[in-house]
């Protein structure tokens, strides 16, 4: 992998990740952009104990442009985009309309391919490995920023999810705090460790799932399963079998095997609802240990946390979506219409032939 860092016309950082070591990235952003001005701030909710990002400048962000005006495609002739070069393998840049900025963190866009009509599932294994390497590199770089406590790599896919740009891409959020979902996991880790005399809860979960009915896919270094208490109609958790706290700690064997396993999962997701259905909307979310102090979680260290990816869709059946209505939105109590065992069985049925 070759990494080339440059600056866009408004001062934002852009990084090319190339498969070829001889790639030259010297194109200049020719757009007449003024420096980006953001008004992002993080406010603490004293009743719930969580944080909310207030980012009013995002109201003006690009919204469903036609394909020939996509800002994530390479620049061609007089059609100038966020990527100055006329081609790329993988590119990462600071979001022009970030939810978090300055002392409140940082937001980046990750373009998986220059092909506007592609998807992550259609990448080659070599391309998918390059994305993994980019995620890992950005995790390393962002975690070193003074204000950053947790790094979150994710992909929103599909208009039903709320995606406003059709080009295959994901995002990275660098939070100045430990996110509420991760804090819940850490509290469960601490309680289980205390109750069992030191046993790791993630290890317990993986042993249970390996012996159960919800395994979707297993390889030498990875395990994918539908969790016992799945929140979403079709939800898969993907873990490296050797527990590590973050992407940086993955060994080469797991890195090499990841593209094949992950691409297979994504392709199965696109086959869940049968032929002729639109591509399955999904969210793919990497959960990594925070880089900040863990003094609020007595007895827990970073190495207790287990890196994993959660992949889920809001489509519950053909032509129908799972909406977060009263119980989910009002009380955070999910109601799942698809039994996890049935979801796992379906995801095994649609395996590649």
Which of the residues are catalytic? 169
Q: How far apart are CA 341 and CA 225, in angstroms?
A: 10
Q: Who contacts 325 (Cβ-Cβ below 8 Å, separation ≥6)?
A: none
Strand partners, 52: 43
Cα 282 to its chain centre, rounded Å, is 11
Q: How far apart are CA 255 and CA 233, in angstroms?
A: 29
Q: Who contacts 232 (Cβ-Cβ below 8 Å, separation ≥6)?
A: 312, 313, 314, 322, 334, 336
Only one residue has tokens 């109609």, namely: 233
Q: Which strands sit side by side in the sheet containing 169-175, from one edge to the other?
A: 2-7, 13-18, 90-94, 106-111, 169-175, 150-157, 282-287, 308-313, 234-240, 222-225, 215-218
Kind and range of the H or E run holding 113: none
Q: Who contacts 252 (Cβ-Cβ below 8 Å, separation ≥6)?
A: none
Tell me if residue 329 falls in helix, strand or coil.
Answer: helix
Instruction: Give CA separation, 130 vs 3, 40, 107, 134, 255, in Å.
Output: 11, 31, 20, 6, 10
Q: Which long-range contacts (CB under 8 A, 24 or more apart) does 60-68 make?
A: 60/97, 61/96, 61/97, 61/164, 62/97, 62/164, 62/165, 63/164, 64/159, 64/164, 64/165, 64/166, 65/165, 67/116, 67/166
């Amino acid at each position: 992998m070759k990494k080339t860092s440059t600056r866009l016309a408004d001062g934002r950082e852009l990084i090319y990740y190339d498969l070829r070591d001889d790639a030259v990235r010297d194109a200049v952003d020719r757009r007449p952009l003024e420096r980006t001005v953001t008004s992002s701030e993080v406010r603490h909710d004293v009743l719930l104990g969580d944080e909310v990002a207030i980012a009013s400048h995002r109201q003006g962000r690009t919204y469903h442009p036609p394909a020939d005006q996509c800002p994530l495609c390479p620049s061609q002739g007089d059609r100038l985009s966020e990527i100055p070069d006329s081609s790329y393998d993988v590119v990462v840049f600071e979001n022009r309309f970030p939810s978090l900025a300055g002392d409140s963190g940082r937001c980046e866009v990750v373009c998986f391919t220059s092909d506007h009509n592609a998807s992550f599932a259609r990448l080659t294994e070599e391309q998918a490995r390059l994305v993994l390497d980019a995620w890992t590199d950005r995790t390393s770089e962002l975690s070193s920023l003074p204000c950053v406590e947790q790094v979150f790599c994710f992909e929103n896919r599909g208009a039903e999810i709320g995606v406003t740009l059709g080009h295959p891409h994901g995002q990275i959020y660098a939070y100045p705090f430990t996110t509420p979902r991760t804090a819940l996991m850490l509290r469960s880790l601490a309680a289980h460790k205390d109750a069992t005399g030191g046993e790791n809860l993630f290890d317990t979960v993986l042993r249970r799932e390996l012996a159960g009915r919800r395994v979707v896919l297993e390889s030498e270094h990875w395990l994918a399963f539908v969790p016992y208490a799945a929140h979403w109609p079709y939800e898969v958790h993907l873990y490296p079998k050797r527990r590590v706290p973050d992407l940086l700690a993955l060994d080469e064997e797991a890195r090499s095997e990841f593209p094949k396993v992950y691409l297979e999962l994504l392709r199965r997701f696109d086959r869940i609802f049968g032929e002729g259905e639109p591509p399955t909307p999904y969210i793919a979310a990497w959960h990594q240990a925070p880089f900040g102090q863990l003094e609020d979680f007595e007895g827990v260290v970073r190495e207790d946390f287990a890196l994993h990816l959660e992949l889920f869709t809001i489509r519950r059946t053909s032509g129908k979506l799972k909406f977060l209505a009263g119980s989910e939105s009002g009380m955070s109590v999910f109601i799942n219409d698809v039994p996890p065992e049935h979801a796992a069985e379906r995801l095994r049925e649609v395996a590649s032939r």
